[in-house]
């Protein structure tokens, strides 16, 4: 840990009550927990004896959950279906204290649902129910206009693209206009995009982009295997999407941050102790990095805080949030 613990803890404290907006694809993560004691006589597959079923917020809703877990005030913008899963998403948002005025109902599609069957802390199968087609033209324009009116009230914005159809060209255009007007800056209302390959062709004028290694490779067209070509990938992303900053997360290899005009890239090592499940780790990184930048932290401090958060969540099974309490305990543990 390069940053002084007091600086990281001070950054966490400043995030409390920070107004944030999260825009993106809302997903309900359903977990079926059970035990496996035999193989089915019908086919060579395990028979799971179900012990409990649990629903959690996923996708952009998990980003919002992570921000609430560190005390931020969060407004969420996205779509659910007119179904029981959509009602469950709303109930979970209500429970976590996440503002849901921007959560709209699309009766033409179901709520995105990911069902994971887990036994002995191992995921056996994942079942997805979703519709990836884009929103209708009128809905795209209306949603983009709604989001635009909410930007000025936020100190930081996250665009969480899971490729389910919510992120559209009209929305990106409105965000680009906000940037051109000076509303979006790294140290004054940062906007961070967590990208998806389905929409690479529409991204432009994005202040900060945060792909993982696989997403970055798909965008730049070459494999990232060394720190040198990770830095090169960051430079390509800055030009490709006209961005001011690019962060590439690389799992066990840590992350790299490239900033326009900086002499050298910033590399940070991973903070993971033991990896059980990487699902949701990217959401945690995006949340912590954006919130830390929004309260004036440097990219190195924001990146280190995000790295610590990722180390916490990958040590647990399923999508979980890195709370202020967990982060505080881990920062003090690493400093001891």
| Token digits of residue 49 | 């004896």
CA distances from 163 to 44, 94, 198, 210, 244 (A): 33, 25, 6, 15, 23
Angle, alpha carbons 320-323-329 (nearest 5°): 120
Per-residue exposure over 127-160, b if at least 16 CB sit within 10 Å of its own CB, e if not: eeebeeeebeeebbbebbebbbebbeebbbbbbb
Q: Give yes or no for a contact between 268 and 289, defined as CB atoms under 8 angstroms apart.
A: no
The β-bridge partners of 56 are 29
- Of 25, 194, 277, 283, the active-site residue reads 283
Burial of 66 (0-12, 13-18, 19+ CB in 10 A): buried
Q: What is the spatial distance between Cα 75 and Cα 104, in angstroms, rounded to a whole number?
A: 13
Active site (annotated) includes residue 194: no
Half-sphere exposure of 302 (CA within 13 A, CB side): 27
Burial of 176 (0-12, 13-18, 19+ CB in 10 A): middle
* Residue 317 φ then ψ, to 5°: -95, 130
Give the residue numbers annotated as catalytic, written as ranges: 283
């Amino acid at each position: 840990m390069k940053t002084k613990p007091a600086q990281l803890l001070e950054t966490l404290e400043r995030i409390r009550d920070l107004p944030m907006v999260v825009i993106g694809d809302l997903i309900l993560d359903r977990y079926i927990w059970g035990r496996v004691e035999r193989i089915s006589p019908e086919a060579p597959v395990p028979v799971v004896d179900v012990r409990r079923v649990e629903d959690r917020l996923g996708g952009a809703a998990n980003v919002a959950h992570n921000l609430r877990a560190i005390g931020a005030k969060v407004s969420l913008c996205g779509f659910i279906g007119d179904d029981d899963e959509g009602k469950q998403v709303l109930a979970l948002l209500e429970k976590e204290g996440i503002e849901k005025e921007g959560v709209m109902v699309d009766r033409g599609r179901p709520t995105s649902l990911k069902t994971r069957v887990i036994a002995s802390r191992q995921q056996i199968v994942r079942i997805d129910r979703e519709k990836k087609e884009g929103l209708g033209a009128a809905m795209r324009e209306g949603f983009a206009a709604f989001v635009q009116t909410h930007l000025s009230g936020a100190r930081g914005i996250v665009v969480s693209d899971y490729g389910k159809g919510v992120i559209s060209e009209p929305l990106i255009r409105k965000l680009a206009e906000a940037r051109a007007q000076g509303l979006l800056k790294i140290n004054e209302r940062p906007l961070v995009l967590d990208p998806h390959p389905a929409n690479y062709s529409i991204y432009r004028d994005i202040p900060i982009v945060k792909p993982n290694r696989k997403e970055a490779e798909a965008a730049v067209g070459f494999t990232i295997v060394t720190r040198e070509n990770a830095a090169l990938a960051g430079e390509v992303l800055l030009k490709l999407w006209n961005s001011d900053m690019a962060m590439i997360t690389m799992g066990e290899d840590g992350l790299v941050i490239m900033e326009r005009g900086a002499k050298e890239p910033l590399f940070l090592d991973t903070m993971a102790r033991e990896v059980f499940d990487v699902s949701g780790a990217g959401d945690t990184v995006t949340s912590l990095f954006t919130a830390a930048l929004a309260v004036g932290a440097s990219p190195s401090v924001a990146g280190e805080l995000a790295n610590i958060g990722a180390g916490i969540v990958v040590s647990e099974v399923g999508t979980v949030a890195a709370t202020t309490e967990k982060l505080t305990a881990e920062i003090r543990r690493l400093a001891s």
